[in-house]
Amino acid sequence: MSSTLFLEFTRSKNFESKVLKNTLLKEYTTFKIGGPADVVFIPENLQELQLAIKFIYEHKIPVTIFGCGSNILVSDKGIRGVVIIMTEKFSKVDIVGDIISAQAGISVTDLSKLVVENGFAGMEFAVGIPGSVGGAVFMNAGAYGGEFANIVHKVITVNSLGELCEYRPEQLQFGYRHSVFQENRELILQVEFKLATGDKEQLRQIVEELTQKRSSKQPLEMPSAGSVFKRPVGNYAGTLIEQAGLKGKCIGGAQVSEKHAGFIVNKGDATAKDVLDLIEYIREIVWDKFAVRLESEVRFIGEA
């Protein structure tokens, strides 16, 4: 009923956006896993997005926001309500002085490379992080000693009334893989970064080294959602999983990567249930062997 209401709304407004019914979400996730969404909405511009958000909240329609579809595991039963996908039309970047303003849909890797090519330092750590800029801020993504909390200058969101809101760093409640947006559920629209200038050749070299390091150690050739578990205090999840003898362990089409035990990969036909069962199995074995409780970093979303 709620999805039908939304479809009627988009038709009445003559939206130029893409509105797709019963689309399999595995096409929009890096895991290549996920059942159907009632409606996928790909907004064409900011006005359409604001009107849609306002309508969705006024009518209490369930809504889920997608960027590049990384760091998530979508239910085999799919997602009810509306899924808004931000990557297609919200990937613009503007650079004015030392302020880089990026729309939420651009990939972290693309933005990081663009920043380096313009001679700015501070985002090299992010090259190779899967996902969109909006998702990276939502999760306070990090790698190689850096995280987004260190470089974000301002975030612009769309709230439940369709209004634009601004957040400064002190309002973002950044923590380990956490931001305020995990509680307030506002849609991240744009992120501003304030970066120092650097030597372009040195920055390129750092990026190349980190790219090679990531490629040699992570299973980038197979579908995954990135690192599955948060880092436990004083240890590494991948190390514990490997020491537990779980590299290569399979349940259905899901497998603990033989390249990096901190990743679960889709061998080609994995279901969300396969992945969830494997996650739970890993957590049980690691707890039995090391008395360490692993906490999932990958978010499970959709109908249980």
User: Taking a C-beta distance cutoff of 8 angstroms, is the pair 50, 91 a contact?
Assistant: no
> Closest by alpha carbon to 275, among 254, 261, 296?
254
Please state, in angstroms and rounded to a whole number, the distance separating the CA atoms of residues 236 and 229. 9
Token couple for 202: 């040195």
Tokens encoding 40: 């996928």
Of the candidates 225, 182, 185, 251, the one whose C-alpha atom is nearest the C-alpha of residue 73 is 225
DSSP 24-50: EGGGGSTT----EEEEEEE-SSHHHHH
Q: Phi/psi zone of residue 96: left (φ > 0), alpha (ψ -120 to 50 degrees), beta?
A: beta
The helix/strand/coil state of 290 is helix
Residue length, the chain?
304
Catalytic amino acids?
177, 227, 297
Instruction: Give the separation between CA 252 and CA 240, rounded to whole angstroms.
Output: 22
Q: Are 160 and 53 in contact (CB under 8 A)?
A: yes
Which tokens is 137 given?
């801020």
Residues 124 and 109 sit within 8 Å (Cβ to Cβ): no
Q: Give the separation between CA 103 and CA 134, rounded to whole angstroms.
A: 8
Beta bridge partners of 194: 99
Beta carbons of 210 and 144 less than 8 angstroms apart: yes
Q: Give Rg (Cα) of the chain.
A: 20
246: three-class secondary structure by DSSP = coil
